[in-house]
A and B are shown apart, each in its own frame.
Chain A
Amino acid sequence: MELTSQVGGTVLDGLGYVGALATLGGRAAYFTFLGPFRGKRLRWQQAVSQAMAVGVQALPILSLITFFIGLILALQSAYELRRFGALNYVATAVALSMTRELGPLITAILVIGRSGSAFAAEIGTMKVTEEIDALETMAIDPIHFLVTPKFLAMTLMLPCLTIWANAMGILGGAFFGVVQADFTWTRYIQASIDSLFLRDVTTGLIKSVMFGMTITAVGCYEGLSTGAGAEEVGRSTTRAVVISIFLVILVDLVFTALFFFVSGR
């Protein structure tokens, strides 16, 4: 009985949390799509500078990581494929795992570490130093002012980063292919492209859009619900990272399952 009520309580808390995130996302969507028609101008400049921070500045580290991931995937799949003399299929294995799963996921995890945590810390610090209160007393909606540009930047940049991550991962695989498996660069790339269907790429990109929204919602929500004191900022940042990772995996599972049953693949 005790256990049942505990499980029930946890589930309700979880649903409540997701509801709060959805509310935040909904208000950001309102300010993005409807606000401009109701005299609340869209903050393009802030969105662009956020997009720079979230997207462009993440490129070097993202490139490096996904190149390595591609290389690792190639090595791991070659270990098994070699026994069947099917080393040619390395390109397919790498291309499929990158575009369908690892590209979006690794990108999301990296962005959580770089940007989701930064959102929570930035907004949390503003909360502690009464800057959020100051916005409200100036009749400026903190969601409009702070959260909406972040949503815009993240939902646009995460798919872009994911495409880049896919490309770098395939390049990492190609490095192995050229050095170890008698591929030329062009043949490896051609083999990768041939093995991919458009929907492999698009399902990954749809997921990455969902990841972007999840990460922003969690980061901003945790920031806005920061209590008083500097240590609370640290706590919300940690929570933002942990909850984002969990929810991204959950969203990944849900959408992967959805695509599996809808398309039969």
Chain B
Amino acid sequence: MEPGNQNTLQTDAMISLRDLHVQYGEREILHGINFDVQRGETLVILGGSGSGKSTLLRTLVGLEKPSHGQIWIRGRDIATISSSELDEIRKKVGMSFQGGALFGSMTVGENVALPLREHTRLEASTIEIIVRLKLDQVGLSGFEDYMPSQLSGGMKKRAAVARALAMDPEILFFDEPSAGLDPIIAAGIDELILELKKAFHMTIIVVTHELASAFLIADRMVLIDKGRVVAIGPTGEMRSSTHPRVRQFFDRVAEPAVEQELDYLQMLTEDHRHGSADVARTKGAS
């Protein structure tokens, strides 16, 4: 592949990443990510804490600017387009944040209605019906008038999904959908993602480190480690992969203790090509 200088893209993929680099200040977090996501596919981005997977997700929704490379979404490179063009794409993209990120000062219904009120000229009564419909889809019928603080963790995530669905997005992003939930509630969220996939043929991208949930919902998986793609492929293939890093992740083997002095030295001196992103990002959120 000849990355870096195409203006158009010869692919009908929904999302295409080409040589994507992202850095926070001096520190580079992602070192050249390439992959495509096809229309209607569910891709799970796996990776440990500090692997750069959350940064990747933030970049995909336009919250971080790449320092180099391209992000093609629905045929536009969101790294170079103007903010009003980016807003047009964002209206077709839904994002469910890790903690829900519901607006605490609004009811659940108002939260779901917000993008509709902002971006459409629909009548209030129509919006009300859409809100009821979206809440029904995520199993929260009748919770319109609750405040987010009155909801449990799982319900907050469902409400956040309802809000992400409000504009009938073509692409749906999930940041750690099962983080902080008990196994039963987490399984419920997985079910919800599967239902959405079946019902709407949405392109769904999920960032997680929960293996059980990943194997359940993914069509394809990509494993990110230290800011690079280690492996990518269909779920079945990944499961039987013999790549050492993939096996380590799937078999839940702890990081081996530092054996060689040289490795240790390399870790301490923050070599940007290998160790630093991992070490540095573990401090922040993942």
Contact = CB atoms under 8 A, between A and B. Distances in A.
A137 B114 contact: no
Among A125, A133, A139, A140, max chain B CB count under 10 A is at A139
A125 B99 CA distance: 13
B115 A140 contact: yes
A133 B102 CA distance: 11
Contacts of B90: 136-139
B94 to A, nearest CB: 8
A131 B63 CA distance: 12
A140 B58 CA distance: 16
A130 B101 CA distance: 5
A12 interface: no
Contacts, number: 50
Contacts of B93: 137
B58 to A, nearest CB: 8
Interface centre among B88, B91, B102, B118 (most CB of A within 10 A): B118
Given A130-B99, A131-B103, A138 B63 contact: no
B114 A140 contact: yes
Contacts of A139: 86-88, 90-91, 115, 118-119
Contacts of B163: 138
Contacts of A129: 99, 101, 104
A224 to B, nearest CB: 14
B56 interface: no
A228 interface: yes
A129 B63 CA distance: 15
A134 interface: yes
Contacts of B62: 136-137
| Contact residues on A (Cβ < 8 Å of other chain), bracket | 10 to 19
A133 B175 CA distance: 12
A238 to B, nearest CB: 22
B262 to A, nearest CB: 34
A138 B118 contact: yes
Interface string B99-139: 10111100000000011001100000000000000000000
A16 to B, nearest CB: 17
B285 A134 contact: no
Contacts of B95: 134, 137
A228 B285 contact: yes
Question: Chain B: interface residue count, which band?
Answer: 20 to 34
B134 to A, nearest CB: 14
A122 to B, nearest CB: 8
B97 interface: yes
Given A138-B90, A139-B87, A133 B118 contact: no
A228 B284 contact: yes
B275 to A, nearest CB: 22
A130 B98 contact: yes
Nearest to A130: B101
A138 B97 contact: no
Nearest to A144: B118
Contacts of B86: 139
Contacts of A140: 114-115, 118
B61 interface: yes
A133 B114 contact: no
Contacts of A130: 97-99, 101
Given A138-B90, A228-B285, A133 B115 contact: no
A138 B62 CA distance: 11
A228 B102 CA distance: 17
B164 to A, nearest CB: 9
A134 B97 CA distance: 8
Q: Taking each of B63, B98, B163, which has the highest tally of chain A beta carbons within 10 Å of its own beta carbon?
A: B63
Contacts of A137: 61-63, 90, 93, 95
Interface in B37-85: 58, 61-63
Given A134-B103, A140-B114, 18 more contacts: A129-B99, A130-B101, A131-B101, A131-B102, A131-B103, A131-B104, A133-B97, A134-B95, A134-B97, A136-B63, A136-B90, A137-B63, A138-B167, A139-B91, A139-B115, A139-B118, A140-B115, A228-B285
8 contacts: A129-B101, A130-B98, A131-B101, A136-B63, A137-B61, A139-B118, A140-B114, A228-B285
Please provide the 7 A-B residue pairs with the shortest distance between their CB atoms, ordered closest to farther: A139-B87, A134-B101, A139-B90, A130-B101, A137-B95, A130-B97, A138-B115
Interface of A: 125-126, 129-131, 133-134, 136-140, 228
